[in-house]
């Protein structure tokens, strides 16, 4: 697993974003996965992003967005695709802004078809497109994943696995999940959680919670995964602690 590329992502106050951009490589990370608010002002002008945020390609290893997939949402997603292509981002990580409640198998499969179309549009611009599952969104529970990816050939529409959101969505066997869906996984968001499963926990720094993160990484080895390992840091820790503590855990575990 030492061949994985390390990335970092964290919600920050605006004044902290330049600090992250200026220090992530020195802290041992090859890339960032930018939250929407961290690039929103530049969506219509990627050249200005390259000028003001920086031209280091690692800054844009992925851009994270969330939206609906109705006509208006698709127009906003197209704008994000244009931005991603303009700054050379490898991937868009997409959170589907639709409630889980009331979505049946047929609708979930229809969502998959629409997202496959969007992924094809992104691919034409040289940008990968990856679904980030999320608690209370259409792909949340284990049966949701099976319905959504039923008939989806690996390679066009990717899956960003978030370890803590799996646990928060009552998926307890994280390595088993990786074993089942490994061919679809193109991005990993690594974070710990204060409970092994359930909604009442808190996000934690890697190694400071109850999740079998090493089991997840071993399962990724079995799957032949060679993509990004992004520390998606959402604990109460500050930026400096989040960067350093996560790096220390990765180093200690040979990742």
Strands 203-204 and 192-193: antiparallel
pLDDT score of 49:
98
Q: Which long-range contacts (CB under 8 A, 24 or more apart) does 175-180 make?
A: 175/212, 175/215, 175/216, 175/218, 175/219, 176/219, 177/142, 177/145, 177/219, 178/216, 178/219, 178/220, 178/222, 178/223, 179/219, 179/222, 179/223, 180/145
Residue 200 has pLDDT above 60, yes or no: yes
Q: Which of 53-57, 133-137, 150-154 has the lowest mean pLDDT?
A: 150-154
Residue 151 has pLDDT above 90, yes or no: no
Q: pLDDT of 34-71, one tens digit each? A: 999 999 999 999 999 999 999 999 999 999 999 999 99
Are 32 and 61 in contact by the 8 Å Cβ rule? The answer is: yes
Our CA dihedral for 83, 85, 90, 94, rounded to 10 degrees, sits at: 50
Against a cut of 0.85, is the pTM above it?
yes
pLDDT tens, residue by residue, 58-114: 999 999 999 999 999 999 999 999 999 999 999 999 999 999 999 999 999 999 999
The closest alpha carbon to 117, from 94, 100, 87, belongs to: 94
Structural domain harbouring 161: 5-252
Q: What pLDDT shows up at residue 2?
A: 57
pLDDT at 1 over 60: no
The pair of structure tokens assigned to 87 is 């700054």
- Which CATH number belongs to the domain containing residue 104 in this structure? 3.20.20.150
Residue 3 pLDDT exceeds 80: no
How many domains does the chain fold into?
Answer: 1
Q: Given this model, what pLDDT does residue 254 score?
A: 79
What's the mean per-residue pLDDT of the chain?
Answer: 97
Mean pLDDT value of segment 112-117: 98
């Amino acid at each position: 697993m030492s061949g994985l590329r390390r990335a970092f992502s964290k919600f920050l106050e605006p004044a902290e974003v330049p600090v992250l951009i200026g220090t992530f490589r020195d802290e041992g990370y090859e890339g960032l996965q930018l939250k929407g608010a961290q690039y929103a002002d530049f969506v219509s002008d990627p050249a200005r992003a390259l000028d003001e945020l920086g031209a280091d390609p690692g800054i844009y290893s992925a851009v994270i967005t969330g939206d609906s997939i109705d006509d208006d949402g698709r127009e906003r997603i197209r704008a994000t695709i244009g931005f991603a292509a303009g700054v050379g981002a490898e991937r868009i990580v997409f959170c589907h802004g639709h409630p889980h409640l009331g979505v049946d198998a047929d609708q979930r499969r229809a969502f998959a078809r629409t997202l496959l179309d969007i992924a094809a549009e992104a691919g034409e611009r040289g940008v990968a497109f990856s679904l980030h599952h999320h608690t209370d969104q259409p792909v949340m529970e284990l049966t949701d994943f099976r319905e959504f990816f039923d008939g989806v050939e690996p390679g066009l529409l990717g899956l960003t696995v978030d370890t803590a959101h799996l646990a928060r969505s009552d998926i307890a066997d994280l390595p088993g999940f990786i074993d089942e869906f490994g061919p679809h996984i193109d991005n990993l968001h690594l974070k710990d959680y204060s409970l092994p499963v359930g909604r009442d926990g808190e996000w934690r720094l890697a190694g400071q919670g109850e999740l079998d993160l090493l089991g997840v990484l071993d399962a990724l080895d079995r799957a032949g995964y060679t993509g990004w390992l992004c520390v998606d840091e959402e604990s109460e820790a500050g930026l400096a602690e989040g960067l350093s503590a996560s790096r220390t855990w990765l180093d200690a575990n040979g990742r």
